[in-house]
Amino acid sequence: MAGRRQGARRDTRTAYLLLGPSLFGISAFLVLPILVVAWLALQRWDLIGPRTFVGLDNVVAVAADGRFARSLLITAVFVAIVIPAQTVLGLVAALLLNRGLRGSAAFRVLYVLPWICAPLVLGVVWRWVLAPTDGALNALIGRRVEWLADPVLALPSVAAVTVWTHVGYVALFFSAGLRAIPDTVHEAAMLDGAGAGQRFWRITLPLLRPTTFFVLVTQIIATFQVFDSVYALTPDGGPQGVTDVVAGRIYYEAFEQRAVGQAAVMALVLFVLLVVVTLVQQRWFSRRTTYDLST
């Protein structure tokens, strides 16, 4: 009995020792920042002077700020444009690449390059491409279009650049998901007389649900927090504030208005919103995802 207890204690110590690095990382880089932001949300601070405890005054101020509500709506529209476009284009690119066409290996490297480049650099490059007078795109189509200065075109233009930047990342994961599907599944379907369309809708897409879930979760979280590329393309929120996304609004409040407490409240609202969206996605996909091909 004593030997079993000693063995159990030794196993417990080993477990805590193995979990230690992960627990430290979660505590230092996830839990602690959230607690600090929550604490700042209760303070009035201008980044320089002393901090003053103001209770829920910052929450009331943010709730009464119509610009924050508008930035949430703009961000939701931005996500609604970007996520479907880059998911479909990424899947199409992965399907084409997995056909083993000539030059596919080189193209895999090319389509990932925009994703690994700094968003600010890409934003500066695209700002030149979309410039109204000497921009490359207007020169190509032979007419002057205010891609970033027109209130109607500014948000779709920024969304198009974001899709172009991340479609390679999405295609990379869909390509890995397609390779994980055994060829025997498609061969059996072909023997049963299933056409290409039936195999895609009834076999490929259902078996890609785990990959689709991962792609949607990571991309929705990233798109809700987009800031650098939007800021590089349309500083100050774009024409009439049509590209004033949430992350930009938080930056403006914290570093230009020096209202750190209100910026912290906005950051907490964004955090809670992302947690809710992720939980809804997890619940929806968990009921429809099959990981074991034998079931």
Query: Residue 169: which CATH number?
Result: 1.10.3720.10
Domain-embedded: residue 49? no
Domain-embedded: residue 207? yes
Domain-embedded: residue 47? no
37 and 70 fall within a common domain: no
Section 261-285 average pLDDT: 91
Mean pLDDT is highest, among 35-44, 112-121, 282-291, for 35-44
Which has the closest alpha carbon to 239: 148, 131, 134, 135? 148
6 and 85 fall within a common domain: no
Q: Summarize pLDDT for 106-139 with one digit per residue, the tens.
A: 777 777 777 777 888 888 889 889 988 888 898 9
Q: Are 127 and 148 in contact (CB under 8 A)?
A: yes
Domain-embedded: residue 262? yes
Q: Give CA 149 to chain center in angstroms.
A: 25
Domain-embedded: residue 46? no
270 and 136 fall within a common domain: yes
CA 204 to each of CA 216, 237, 295: distance values in angstroms, whole numbers, following the listed order: 17, 41, 16
Domain-embedded: residue 292? no
124 and 226 fall within a common domain: yes
Which has the closest alpha carbon to 217: 127, 264, 168, 280? 280
18 and 75 fall within a common domain: no
pLDDT at 292: 55
28 and 128 fall within a common domain: no
Domain-embedded: residue 58? no
Looking at the predicted structure, is the pLDDT value of residue 40 above 90?
yes
22 and 82 fall within a common domain: no
11 and 157 fall within a common domain: no
Gap between the Cα atoms of 202 and 39, Å rounded? 50
Domain-embedded: residue 239? yes
Q: Summarize pLDDT for 170-190 with one digit per residue, the tens.
A: 998 998 899 888 888 888 888
Angle between helix 104-116 and helix 66-97 axes, rounded to 10 deg: 160
Q: What percent of the chain has pLDDT over 90?
A: 37
Domains contained in the chain, number: 2
88 and 122 fall within a common domain: yes
120 and 252 fall within a common domain: yes
30 and 70 fall within a common domain: no
Q: Summarize pLDDT for 234-253 with one digit per residue, the tens.
A: 888 888 889 999 999 999 99
Please list, in sequence order, all residues whose beta carbon lies within 8 angstroms of the beta carbon of residue 137, skipping any fewer than 6 positions away. 129, 130, 145, 147
* Range(s) of the domain holding residue 35: 2-41
144 and 18 fall within a common domain: no
Give me the amino acid identity at 145: V
